[in-house]
Structure 1
Amino acid sequence: MSASVDTGTSSITTPSAGAAARPVLDLITGRARTGAYGPDPASQRIALAFTTAQAVRHTGRSQGYRNEVLSLRLGAAVGSCAVEPGELPADTLTDCVGATVDELLDHPRAAVRVAALDAYLGYCRPHGPAEGARPVALPAGSSLAKSRARAAAVVRLLPLAEVRRVLVVGVVNSLLEQLRSHGVEYVPGDLKGGTTEWGEPVRTDVLAHLDDCDAILASGMTLGNGSLDPLLAHARATGKPLALFAQTGSAVLPRLLGDGVTAVSAEPYPFFWLDGGPTVLHLYGGHQGHGGAAR
């Protein structure tokens, strides 16, 4: 069973326990600490921390995958960051409970920093029309049916009629299937390599393919392992569309709209793969012209 293909949670660089994700996180963390989004993070305490792990092989698919996610709860909001399965030490959860958001924003593990910032921003700026988001309902169904419904919404965040080839960072076969149905070429990229459902090689050197593509579609996991920064720099420099599909950092990444990011599909916990009933995506930006910068 593959641990990466179809997760949408792996990316360019090897994840580390240190400050790999600092550049983007510093930007938004600094704003949070100066009161740009709401109350002082030092006044907010995390009461609940948990992890979610899954393994799945969709009916009709030849490959399976695994996911593991760290989540922190602040009030009604749950902030999340996907990690490589087995990466988190056993004491991570006890590190988080009872700590202030401000303390966790300095935690040595990037996953904790991302989840804490995500929880804080989800609490202060919940997804909705007031933040420029438009809800899209995913109907009840099997995990594969919901994966395909999500993919159909996500790929439409790109100007498909104008795109020749998309760099996909964090391979999700349902997203590739949707791009194929629109006649759009793609370069699949993921940390662990492997092959797609159609036998195409998954590139581990995705930065080498940036110039060959005219749009980027990347997983929110790029925030968690620090590999979003070069993608963001390239999008800023070239003006290429950069759309993010985010379970990791779903409340964080909309803060980058208009600053290199053109669109975000935000999917806070519980994710589509946890619930067979109806669930909701919150879409920001995109070629449809709805939803503005949420910074």
Structure 2
Amino acid sequence: MTAATSDTSGISDPSGISAVDSARVPSAARARTYDDLVTRVRAGELGPDPRTRRIAVAFTTRQAVRHDGRGTGYRNEVLSLRLAGAVGSCAVEPGALSDSAVEECVGADVAELLDHPLLPVRVAALDAYLMHITPHTPEHGARPVALPAGTSLEKSRARARAVVELLDLPPGATVLVVGVVNSLLEQLRSHGIGYAPCDLKGGVTEWDEPVVTNALAAAARCDALLVSGMTLGNGTFEPLREHALRHGKRLVLFAQTGSAVLPRLLGRGVSAVCAEPYPFFWLDGGPGTVHHYRADRPGGAR
């Protein structure tokens, strides 16, 4: 993906956040950029010194899926780190993470892992720390949304409804979808919303639509952005956030990766987040919960 140019025009507060946003976004969310958030965590500005918090458990979750009635399938692999009662996660390309990289995380403190050479490890460590100090509760701006029990496809569709609800787009609008999930595309189609599917792997959708690989080029012709948290783990998130901020477009994130990270950027290009911490909807058939965050609601919640 190519980079977007940052533009802070129209923002009067030197912190980069308007007075309105400051009143509505949870205090822990007032980071200007992803790197700013990392810097503040390293400095202990948001909670305990990260050098004093150690990762007890590190593990990967791997899945291959092909829902009944679907013509295509996919694979997922996620690195998760356990910090006290919290679990932070970051998706990786299947097979990209070695066993030794996982083992290196066990017993390491969060500050060490924020400097790890692998970006997914750094993201998972940040997510675990933020989940530890600001879990998904109403006090921190989250609104729980129940997912019913069901088959893998039923739960996928229920999650898609919860995500698309946050877009607030009229029929006829066009949204860039970064991280192709067929249930999300299906839900957009049912609402009469057009989309440009984008994924670094390219390919085609369930409906044989070409998947583009240059997100920013496609974003120029879209009214809003619907983006996977996986962009944190592959380094493509910040240009998309900057594009949304610069052009005043709605940016909604569906986040298994970085579910506790992305709500901290509400009001700085991020409009809303559907946060889904571990365990994810695809792990079992029982009921589950995702969490809505909105920059345009008091406390960030609806």
Kindly state the Cα deviation for residue 90 of structure 1 after the two structures are TM-superposed.
Answer: 2.0
Report the counterpart of residue 292 of structure 1 in structure 2.
Answer: 300
What is the distance in 1 between the residues matched to 2:299 and 2:65?
Answer: 33
Q: Residue 147 of structure 1 is aligned with which of 137, 141, 156?
A: 156
Indicate if the aligned counterparts of 1:284 and 1:290 stay in contact, CA closer than 8 A: no
Kindly state the Cα deviation for residue 292 of structure 1 after the two structures are TM-superposed.
Answer: 1.5
Q: Residue 139 of structure 2 is aligned with which of 130, 134, 137?
A: 130
Q: Which consecutive residues of structure 1, in runs of 5 or more, have no partner in the other structure?
A: 1-11, 14-22
The answer on 1:242 being equivalent to 2:286 is: no
Report the counterpart of residue 12 of structure 2 in structure 1.
Answer: none
TM-score by length of 2: 0.87
SS in 1 for 2:300: coil
The answer on 1:197 being equivalent to 2:202 is: no
The answer on 1:267 being equivalent to 2:276 is: yes
Query: Where in structure 2 are the equivalents of 1:158-177 lying within 5 Å?
Result: 158-161=167-170, 164-177=173-186
What is the distance in 1 between the residues matched to 2:92 and 2:300?
Answer: 30
Q: Residue 53 of structure 2 is aligned with which of 44, 52, 56?
A: 44
Report the counterpart of residue 82 of structure 1 in structure 2.
Answer: 91
Output one character per residue of 1:67-101: Cα deviation in whole Å (capped at 9) or x when no partner.
00000000110000000000012201111001000
What is the distance in 2 between the residues matched to 1:277 and 1:71?
Answer: 21
Kindly state the Cα deviation for residue 142 of structure 1 after the two structures are TM-superposed.
Answer: 0.6
How many residue pairs get aligned? The number is: 272
CA 1:99–1:177: 2 relative to 1, 3 Å: same
Tell me how large the CA RMSD over aligned residues is: 1.6
CA 1:212–1:122: 2 relative to 1, 3 Å: same
CA 1:223–1:231: 2 relative to 1, 3 Å: same
CA 1:256–1:162: 2 relative to 1, 3 Å: farther
Report the counterpart of residue 7 of structure 2 in structure 1.
Answer: none
Report the counterpart of residue 18 of structure 1 in structure 2.
Answer: none
Indicate if the aligned counterparts of 2:61 and 2:77 stay in contact, CA closer than 8 A: yes
The answer on 1:58 being equivalent to 2:67 is: yes
Kindly state the Cα deviation for residue 52 of structure 1 after the two structures are TM-superposed.
Answer: 0.4
Kindly state the Cα deviation for residue 167 of structure 1 after the two structures are TM-superposed.
Answer: 0.3
Indicate if the aligned counterparts of 2:267 and 2:295 stay in contact, CA closer than 8 A: no
What is the distance in 1 between the residues matched to 2:64 and 2:214?
Answer: 26
Report the counterpart of residue 42 of structure 2 in structure 1.
Answer: 33
Report the counterpart of residue 261 of structure 2 in structure 1.
Answer: 252
Output one character per residue of 1:192-237: Cα deviation in whole Å (capped at 9) or x when no partner.
1111111100111221111100100000000111101111111110
Kindly state the Cα deviation for residue 33 of structure 1 after the two structures are TM-superposed.
Answer: 2.1
What is the distance in 1 between the residues matched to 2:96 and 2:114?
Answer: 19
Please tell me the residue identity of whatever aligns with 1:199. D
Indicate if the aligned counterparts of 1:81 and 1:115 stay in contact, CA closer than 8 A: yes
Report the counterpart of residue 20 of structure 1 in structure 2.
Answer: none
Bigger CA drift: 31-40 or 98-107?
A: 31-40
Please tell me the residue identity of whatever aligns with 1:285. R
SS in 2 for 1:160: coil
CA 1:239–1:163: 2 relative to 1, 3 Å: farther
Please tell me the residue identity of whatever aligns with 1:151. A
Indicate if the aligned counterparts of 1:246 and 1:266 stay in contact, CA closer than 8 A: yes
Report the counterpart of residue 4 of structure 1 in structure 2.
Answer: none
Report the counterpart of residue 25 of structure 2 in structure 1.
Answer: none
CA 1:164–1:286: 2 relative to 1, 3 Å: farther
What is the distance in 1 between the residues matched to 2:171 and 2:122?
Answer: 37
Output one character per residue of 1:18-44: Cα deviation in whole Å (capped at 9) or x when no partner.
xxxxx9542111111233321010000
SS in 1 for 2:76: strand
Indicate if the aligned counterparts of 1:163 and 1:214 stay in contact, CA closer than 8 A: no
Kindly state the Cα deviation for residue 245 of structure 1 after the two structures are TM-superposed.
Answer: 0.2
Identity %: 67
What is the distance in 2 between the residues matched to 1:76 and 1:162?
Answer: 42
Output one character per residue of 1:161-191: Cα deviation in whole Å (capped at 9) or x when no partner.
2771000000000000010000000000001
What is the distance in 1 between the residues matched to 2:64 and 2:298?
Answer: 35
